[in-house]
Amino acid sequence: MYRTKSFWISVFISSAVGLLVILHVSMLQVPPPLSPFIQGDGFYIYRGEVSKRQSISIQIPAEGPSGLPVTEIAANAFKNFKNLKTVEIPDTIIEIHDNAFRGCIALESVYIPDSVTKIGHSAFRDCVKLEMVTGLNSVAEISAYMFMDCPALKEITLPESVRAIHTQAFFGASLKEITILYSGVVSIAGDPFAKCPIDRVWVRDLTVQGQYHSLPTSSNWRPYLSPTIKIWDVAYKP
């Protein structure tokens, strides 16, 4: 059968286009998974791994790929890791950013090593099974909403490092007993213990600074070591 010149030209063009499409597709590469490490100037920030979202236990690495220390846990790093029960935080970590463990509804306990000096807002918010928080020995401030809506949390010891407790830090927790080890001025503001069924607060010589409206009445305060409790500019409501 005779084929015209135009026919063969169209066949050639179609074949060329098809070949270009095949070559283009073959050159496409599946992007590598997002690295869990963000490199800073001499350190790494750990932002978690999507592949571990269903993990029950996670050990955060102390070093990144090039041997530099991991010093921070990124914001939202483990947010809504709903199966996470235990997490091991290395003593290289200095800062835990906002919402880092928010919504980890299976998390039962956490130890904050002495290396950690700062924890962002809502870091453990909505951790509904969180019963025990230990460490915190170098943390200067309990940030806003840090343990908000943690109904399994019934007691907390705030170490001598803590100088401020911010807005609704323990809102909705089941705190019945609080121990404040610092002897000095602690700034308390924004109803950090609102809706907590507090029975007693154990203190040494403590001055509470700031306006606060959900402390228990003064008769519910009990001395930790000293009978002297100094309260300044505090509004009480039973």
Number of domain units in the chain: 1
pLDDT band at 209 (very low <50, low <70, confident <90, very high): low
* Selected residue with higher pLDDT from 5 and 153: 153
The whole-model pTM stands at: 0.77
Q: Count of CB atoms within 10 A of residue 85's CB?
A: 15
Residue 214 clears pLDDT 60, i.e. is over it: no
CA distance linking residue 215 with residue 141, whole number of Å: 18
pLDDT band at 130 (very low <50, low <70, confident <90, very high): very high
DSSP alpha helix (H) spans, the chain: 5-27
Average confidence (pLDDT) over 16-24: 51
Task: Answer yes or no: is 60 within a domain.
Answer: yes
Domain that holds residue 88: 36-139
Task: Answer yes or no: is 72 within a domain.
Answer: yes
Task: Answer yes or no: is 128 within a domain.
Answer: yes
Task: Answer yes or no: is 92 within a domain.
Answer: yes
Task: Answer yes or no: is 63 within a domain.
Answer: yes
All residues at 6 or more sequence positions from 120 whose CB lies less than 8 Å from its CB, including other chains: 75, 95, 96, 97, 98, 99, 100, 143
Task: Answer yes or no: is 194 within a domain.
Answer: no
Task: Answer yes or no: is 16 within a domain.
Answer: no
CA distance linking residue 152 with residue 10, whole number of Å: 73
pLDDT band at 222 (very low <50, low <70, confident <90, very high): very low
Task: Answer yes or no: is 234 within a domain.
Answer: no
* Selected residue with higher pLDDT from 69 and 18: 69
pLDDT band at 182 (very low <50, low <70, confident <90, very high): confident
Is 154:179 a contact under the CB 8 Å cutoff? no
* Selected residue with higher pLDDT from 183 and 117: 117
Residue 83, domain CATH = 3.80.10.10
